[in-house]
Structure 1
Amino acid sequence: MKVITNVTDPSKVGQVVRNLMNLLREDPSIEVEVVFHVDAITVLSAESENKDVYALLKNGINVVACRNSMIAKGMDSDSLILGVTVVNAGIYELVKKISEGWIYIRL
């Protein structure tokens, strides 16, 4: 099973992480990806020291940053937490994965 979700609001990151950890406790074999875009992109900055993002990476969850949102916030890929993947458009990443059969979860 493959699951994708997205985060646009930085205040929702903790809630998303808790839900995904619950999901993986039930079935650790699920492949999970989280796309960060809009205002939530800022939590992926290495300077943010967001422990929730590190928890995602530590648990094998693919953390994805939207380059368009990064540009809007004046960020570059060198400023991201190590292990974060960058895609050009977060919305396209969601649509592509859903079209490939990934299950979208709105959290």
Structure 2
Amino acid sequence: MSSTALFIVHQTKPGKRDEVRAIWMRHMGPAIQENPGHLAYFYNFDNDNPDSICAFQVYESAQAAQDFLKHPNYQAYLSESRLLLEHDPKVMSLSPQWTKSV
């Protein structure tokens, strides 16, 4: 497999998770939906932490992942959400070994 996956954990400031979600929906949802480099994307609320958001995404390649970082919607999301986060997100880069399509 040549795909690349990322698992990202965002810790929002207390009570700001819904605000971050609204920003994500406005900018990221449309950009990801239209991006052929994204093979899968799961945006999740952490059931055990009311101020945590986890995202799991699979790209067709490492280059596709790098290219998306330049997307204007991603840049807008970063700009608008930055002050609502406790710190930079934790990002894990993964090499998928096996997947099941839905």
TM-score by length of structure 2 reads 0.30
What TM-score, normalized by structure 1, do the two folds share? 0.29
Structure in which a larger fraction of residues adopt strand: 2
The higher relative CO (CA closer than 8 Å, separation ≥ 6) is in: 2
The structure with the largest helix share of the pair is: 1
